[in-house]
Amino acid sequence: MEKIILRRTSRILSGHLWIFSNELSTSPKNYEPGSLVEVYDNKNKFIGIGYINPHSLISVRLLTREREKINHDFFRKRIVNAINYRKRFLPESNSFRVIYSEGDFLPGLIVDKYADCLVIQFSTLGIEMMKAIVISVLDEILSPSVIVLRNDSQSRILEGLPLEKKAVKGSLDSLPIINEGEILIEVDPMTGQKTGFFLDQRENRVALSNYIKEGRGLDLFCYSGAWGLQLAKNGAFVTCVDDSETALSKAKRNFELNRLEDRCDFVKDDVFKFMKREMESGSLYDFIVLDPPAFVKSRAKVKEALKGYREINAMAMRLIKKGGMLATSSCSYHIEKAMFLDMLRDSARDAGRNPRLMEYRSQGRDHPILLSVPETEYLKCAFLEL
């Protein structure tokens, strides 16, 4: 195994797992892309073992701080630890994120379990080169009926990897159906967003249902209807809005699956345009769920994104009755918690409202946040009473 020496180590010694090219004492270009390297500080003290990609801004991602072989036994130990964590904190769920990349000390690897189906994402070259071992260990431990590789994230292009989607075990002749509290949800691992579903908001959706038991409201950017389903189950009437016919089709299917067709309707429209029309017509709602896609993909676009978040949240606040609730989120890592809350204050001022923050929440427990790697925390969710 080749050796690489760092010229700066404070961030790495504090627990971070990423080593950037400008932290190396020599150029990474002479190393085989995806190969394992031993990492040392400038006093020749061993730091750990990681994989290297000279074509990426993040040159090395650490896998371990021990002198150990990165083999079948290594991955088995890490994956068993991750599963035991989920069993401890999510004991009754048939679906969860099994591996959350750096949050489970396996950078570049995402694994989601939907009932008896596993969906795997290899987002970096180094972890891609260990693909056969990872799949074998997961199959051995969990024995799923179906394993899907959902390798279509844009991060793979930056790593020099092709995009692909395929089943490597079993077939998706029938789609997996998962439980979220008392709700049933059908997941499409091959064509759905991300790996098929947004597991990170599960605990937030269930928590919101503790506040809303009746009334009429909106599920904006509804995707497969998961927020609306929880509220309709409680007795509310929900209008699901999305500009994707595919998303609305999934949402309709899930409302039918739960026999809640009489508690909903569906609107195919651009959410900004829909809300503007509702304001013009004087419509008011008891609650609104606002869970948009990421408005920002890079730090350079933060100012522009905050403007969009501010506008759409102000519109939502104008559409809510006195005493009503807004559940609003941002999944953009570059929008930090303080920015998010400041944006909501600005939105409230624009809307002429003075909301109370009932709860501030983040991603579910199956997306563990590593304090030394702030990039593992990305989801912001606020419940506001207007």
Catalytic residue chosen out of the listed positions 222, 240, 264, 331: 331
Q: Name 277's Cβ contacts closer than 8 Å, sequence gap at least 6.
A: none
Parallel/antiparallel/unpaired status of strands 164-169 and 177-180: unpaired
What is the spatial distance between Cα 193 and Cα 223, in angstroms, rounded to a whole number? 9
Cα angle: 139, vertex 143, 149; to 5 degrees: 50
Do 270 and 277 form a contact (C-beta atoms < 8 A)? no
Q: Is 222 a catalytic residue?
A: no
Do 64 and 58 form a contact (C-beta atoms < 8 A)? no
Q: Which helix (H) or strand (E) holds 134?
A: helix 131-142
Separation in Å, CA 244 to CA 31, 198, 271: 44, 16, 11
Chain centre to alpha carbon of residue 379? 7
Two structure tokens written together for 378? 């990305």
Separation in Å, CA 229 to CA 232, 233, 254, 365, 371: 5, 6, 8, 21, 33
Tell me which DSSP letter residue 192 carries: S
The dihedral of CA 341, 344, 348, 349: what is its sign? Answer: positive
Q: What single string gives the DSSP state of each residue in 71-123?
A: SHHHHHHHHHHHHHHHHHH-TT-SEEEEEEGGGGT-TTEEEEEETTEEEEEE-
What is the spatial distance between Cα 339 and Cα 108, in angstroms, rounded to a whole number? 27
Residue whose C-alpha is closest to residue 156's, from 191, 137, 129, 136? 129
- The catalytic residue positions are 331
